[in-house]
Amino acid sequence: MKNPIAKLLGVLPPGARLVVGGTVVLGASAYVYMALVGYSLGTAGAARVTMLWTIVMSVGWGLFQPVELELTRLVAARKVSGAGALPAVRRMLLLALAILAAACAVLAAAAGPIADQLFGGDRTLVVALAGGMAGLAVSSVSRGALAGLGLFGPYGTQLAVDGALRIGLAALTAVLGLHSALAFGLILVVAPVAASLIGLRGILADRAPGPEVSWRQLTSGLGLLIGSVMLSQLVVNATVVCVRLLAPKHSEASDALVFALGQAVVMARVPLFAYSALQASMVSALSGATAAGDHAEFRKVLTRTTAIVAAMCIGGGLPVIALGAWLNPLLFNAKDLLNPLDFTWLVLGTLCYVLATVFGQALMSSAQHRRQLVGWTAGSVALVAVALSPGDVGLRAELAYLAGALISAVLMLWALYRAFPSSPAASGHSGLDSRSAAEPLRTS
């Protein structure tokens, strides 16, 4: 008889077990980093770094996670047909750098208003924000190539090194007594760029021949995917952003609430970090199944992943509801402003959000980017409606997160049900469009 842990590992998507360790380190780094921020900086400085972290992990992630996901899809499909990955990797790197340049141009043009609205007038944090985006641009290409090639060992190692550097550099900053928001912000630049060097050898080792990738092929789904991920990041980061924008500007009370809610969100999102261990392998497996026209494998991977993440959200969320209000001041030096009901809304929002992410990436893996975008758009509209309703700012922010995630999950599950009927024979097709399988090999 296998023990329960062995059984769980046996149903994970292929390669996920190799990513688990790296994901644990990267996830832990968020908690250690923010704890050191809370104890090293005052309330205002800690709130500014919390906003920096939130924007990097929302806007930056929204711009560059699609690069990773789309590159994973393209490389996995090319691998099924025996085509090499390097043509897709080279062009996707150029595209990521172009997106980065455009983002930096916007930051430079609006540096004053951004600093005033988000960072209490500190323009150096706008520079750190641009650097954080640069780190994500480089790491997204590296991770996307590794996942598409099935090199999950180096992928997991890259995650672990990224997390270890964040912990080590943040600890060094605290030990040296550098009570500077900028010093903590620059860690978000150095760690991902240095960690990206881990996967370079494996990527360059792939010398299989293959046709060039056209720019149209790279960008046809990327715009829709960027829209989807940007909206998904709006949903998952809504609590902190809503409080910052709707509460009285830069008062001691609003700064304290921003920091307290920011750390509460980090605790409630533990399952989201765990899902990161499954994401790369799931997208790779679903994309490979789409390219091969294997409807049964697609359904099996999606069903198992959904069951696993639901169990993780429930198992990880109950302790957060019970202990979160006590742990928040203890671990992060946050003000005692939240109660178990606040954590309940955040945990339920996370459950719905993770399910929406799984369903959305299943749609993306089968080249249904538009349906994914529709789901996140509807969720974002619901989020804004709840956030602008009357009532306490903190409660509105929490319920907005839950509403946006719930609506997105329901609509994308319905889209999957319509796209992949339970009986392929009943619909006259397998549910996997053979044209999407051939598309990644279209020549320029």
Answer whether residue 1 is part of any domain: no
The closest alpha carbon to 238, from 76, 386, 112, belongs to: 386
Structure tokens at 63: 């711009």
Residue 244 lies in a domain: yes
pLDDT of residue 149: 83
Task: Compute the C-alpha angle 98/102/108, nearest 5°.
Answer: 140
Distance, in Å, from the CA atom of 109 to the CA atom of 95, rounded to the nearest integer, reads: 21
Handedness of CA 91, 96, 100, 102 (dihedral sign): positive
Quick check: is 102 in a domain? yes
Per-residue model confidence (pLDDT) at position 226: 84
Left if phi > 0, otherwise alpha if psi is -120 to 50, otherwise beta: which for 5? alpha
The SS3 call for residue 265 is helix
Please give the Cα distance from 214 to 387 (Å, whole number): 42
Tokens 């839950």 appear where?
402
Inside any domain, residue 39: yes
Please report the pLDDT score of residue 421 as a whole number: 57
Distance CA 193, CA 169 (A): 14
Residue 282 CA, distance from chain mean position = 14
Name the residue among 361, 357, 276, 354 with its Cα closest to residue 310. 354
What local confidence, expressed as pLDDT, does residue 104 receive?
Answer: 95
CA distance 183 to 128: 9
Closest CA to 186 of 135, 141, 255: 135
| Residue numbers of the domain that contains 45 | 11-441
Q: How far apart are CA 215 and CA 367, in angstroms?
A: 17
Report pLDDT for 205.
72
Weakly modelled stretches of the chain, pLDDT under 50: 1-6, 8-9, 423-444
- Report the alpha-carbon angle 101-150-190, nearest 5: 35
Per-residue model confidence as pLDDT tens digits over 81-135: 777 777 888 888 999 999 999 999 999 999 999 998 888 888 999 999 999 999 9
CA distances from residue 370 to 130, 222, 394 in whole angstroms, order as listed: 29, 11, 33
Question: Residue 2: inside a domain, yes or no?
Answer: no
Integer Cα distance of 426 and 400 in angstroms: 39
Q: Which two structure tokens, joined as six digits, stand for 411?
A: 């609509």
Predicted local distance difference test score (pLDDT) of residue 18: 66
Residue with tokens 């930096």: 104
Q: Is residue 6 included in any domain, yes or no?
A: no
Give how far the C-alpha of residue 246 lies from the chain's centroid of Cα atoms, to the nearest Å: 25
Q: What is the pTM of this model?
A: 0.69
Distance of alpha carbon 208 from alpha carbon 86, whole angstroms: 8
Domain count along the chain: 1
3 state SS of 247: coil
